[in-house]
Chain A
Amino acid sequence: GAGVSQSPRYKVAKRGQDVALRCDPISGHVSLFWYQQALGQGPEFLTYFQNEAQLDKSGLPSDRFFAERPEGSVSTLKIQRTQQEDSAVYLCASSPGPISGNTIYFGEGSWLTVV
């Protein structure tokens, strides 16, 4: 596709429910990021993939959060046993290679509301 695609665009989950958020990066992009953005705040880093390798997951808030990119393209962010504090926009971004000098392209985000 022409840009980074995320789905679902909006998700309402009941507390305790598991959710899966999908990211289709721009074809051929090596780097993939997940960010969490609370209302009125800047994005907070969650995790980084270089191809299929998850090089940094230090930003994942708890062990309820899990991300994968098994074939080095599509990525899924899974949140188990959702809680109200998980309500946020989850942004996926991709870049052709290391970010130095490269533009990072963002998707429109997946808006998660936990009720």
Chain B
Amino acid sequence: KNQVEQSPQSLIILEGKNCTLQCNYTVSPFSNLRWYKQDTGRGPVSLTIMTFSENTKSNGRYTATLDADTKQSSLHITASQLSDSASYICVVSVADSNYQLIWGAGTKLIIKP
């Protein structure tokens, strides 16, 4: 069964600290992996998209890594800011579909001043 699991479910850190969010997937055949940021009450916003041949991709203070062998991805946030408080969702595309996405439940991140 195609699944995406994220950990931790929630995380609280102090402003300025770094953090890493995890995503494990069992999706086959794999096409690409996306990280989305969703602020409370807003729609998801794309942070990164990675294919199986890409090991890392950065978007400002966000860096995503992908290990296609172990089927794991991480999202690292550097020097966190209050505006980083949001849910971060890992999403995997299925290769033999033009539209099928497998969604994780998300990690709720809270940045405290």
Contacts and interface: CB of A to CB of B under 8 A. Distances in A.
A109 B43 contact: yes
Nearest to B42: A108
Contacts of B34: 104
B99 to A, nearest CB: 5
B43 A107 contact: yes
Contact of B98 (A93, A98, A107, A109): A98
Contacts of A45: 100-101
> Which of A4, A50, A109, A111 has the most B CB atoms < 10 Å from its CB?
A109
Interface string B17-60: 00000000000000110100000011111100101000000000
B31 A104 contact: no
A106 B44 contact: yes
B75 interface: no
Contact of A99 (B41, B42, B99, B103): B99
Given A99-B93, A106-B44, A42 B104 contact: yes
A105 B101 CA distance: 14
B49 A101 contact: yes
Contacts of B103: 42-44
Interface string A87-115: 00001010000111101111111010000
B12 to A, nearest CB: 16
B42 A33 contact: no
Interface of B: 31-32, 34, 41-46, 49, 51, 89, 93, 95, 98-101, 103-106, 108
Interface of A: 4, 31, 33, 40-45, 48, 50, 55-56, 91, 93, 98-101, 103-109, 111
20 contacts: A33-B99, A40-B108, A41-B105, A41-B106, A42-B103, A42-B106, A43-B44, A56-B99, A91-B43, A91-B44, A93-B43, A98-B99, A99-B98, A100-B98, A103-B46, A106-B43, A106-B45, A108-B43, A109-B41, A111-B41
